[in-house]
Amino acid sequence: MNHHLRMRSVLGVLVGLLALPVAAIAASYPSKPITMVVPFPPGGVADLIARPVAERLGKLLGQAVVVENKGGATGTIGAAYVANATPDGYTILFGTTNEIAMSPTLYKSLPYDPIKSFSPVMPVAEFPNVLVVAPSTQARDLQAFIDVAHGQGKSVSFGSSGVGSTNHLTAELFGEQAHVKILNVPYKGGGPALVGLIGGQVTAMFATLPSAMGMIKGGKLHAIAVTGAHRTSALPDIPTAKESGLPDLVVTTWNGVLAPAGTPEPVVTRLHDALKKIVGEPDVMQKLKAVGAEPMTATPAEFADSIKADYKRWAAVIQNAGIELK
């Protein structure tokens, strides 16, 4: 009996010793600046949303959160960098639907697994895409646009930020549902694609709402429909595609924070709790809504489940459309 008691006592001590490093990490984190990698160039939507979040996160945690842009290959370069970083909470990803749930299916060889290589922390914002055309385009609603496309008898050119991007895949979904032939014209980012649209190089674009808001408000582009489940408060007069006759054209894009897989749970929890507080702050909410984004929160487990569901959905879209990298 005494032997068993001694063994239980020793095991209890060992468990306690093993827990000490984790507790110490949680208590001291962060003890130095944190790098938040944005996998797209400066000035893009992810960068626009990440910077105010990083600034507030730094103030809450007591250490600077430095935004580092690592763009390229539809976000996969920056994502790979974080996936292979030390899982200690000092290198985190400000990720998007693009490089986590959409484009990975297109790559035969990718230096990360979108499901296994990350510890999801929390989504912070969600926004729809918006179908935009140049003001000179005659169509002023979705059905008219579809009628014009059918009347052309040829493919309709859509600008995008790259093959497998949310712009591209939303256009493919639209083409499938509206029976319109799509020609994807990839640019080196959403900004250049919108400039190409204004210049008449392409006919239309399913732009992320925050990227197109300024041009819509300034009269440089005309918004036809948004792809959210409901109208957006940023453009309350613009109907959804669902309202306009395409009930299954519902696409939203999220931005959120992910850490490398293996990051200690107390660190993930610390980041999550701080982000949840930030997203609930009135000034942050106002900044997000001003660019057409909606504040978003979820637990790490809920975020992980939504990523899996998104990945499955977009893998099917890519395979059904026969989309390939060229």
As given in the structure block, the two tokens for residue 172 are 């493919």
What's the pLDDT at 163? Answer: 87
The pLDDT, as a whole number, for residue 1 is 46
In a domain, 242, yes or no: no
State how far the alpha carbon of 280 is from the alpha carbons of 124, 252, 285, 288, in Å. Answer: 10, 20, 7, 11
Residue 123 exposure: Cα atoms within 13 Å on the Cβ side: 23
Task: Give the pLDDT confidence of 25-56 residue by residue, as tens digits.
Answer: 667 899 999 999 999 888 888 998 999 999 99
Report phi then psi at 314, rounded to 5.
Answer: -75, -30
CATH number of the structural domain spanning residue 148: 3.40.190.10
Tell me the residue ranges of DSSP E strands in the chain. Answer: 34-38, 65-69, 91-96, 118-133, 156-160, 182-186, 204-208, 222-226, 252-260, 294-295
Same domain, 165 and 308: no
Residue 180 domain boundaries: 128-226
14 and 105 in a common domain:
yes
Alpha carbons 48 and 299: distance in angstroms, whole number? 23
Average pLDDT, the chain: 91
Tell me whether residue 241 is in a domain.
no
* Total number of residues shown for the chain: 326
| pLDDT at 11 > cutoff 90 | no
Asked whether the predicted pLDDT for residue 148 surpasses 60, the reply is yes
**In this model, does residue 218 exceed pLDDT 90?**
yes
In a domain, 220, yes or no: yes
- Whether 231 is in a domain gets the answer no
Nearest CA to 184 out of 98, 201, 198 is that of 201
Write down the pTM of the prediction: 0.85
**Can you say whether the dihedral through the CA atoms of 157, 163, 165, 171 is positive or negative?**
positive
Q: Residue 26 sits in a domain of what CATH number? A: 3.40.190.150
Helix, strand, or coil here: 102? helix
Q: What is the DSSP secondary structure assignment for residue 24, as one 8-state letter? A: H
Contacts of 24 (CB under 8 A, 6+ apart): none
> Is residue 2 included in any domain, yes or no?
no
Please write the tens of the pLDDT for every residue from 250-275. 999 999 999 999 999 999 999 999 99
* Tokens 């507030």 belong to residue: 56
pLDDT tens, 172-184? 999 999 999 999 9
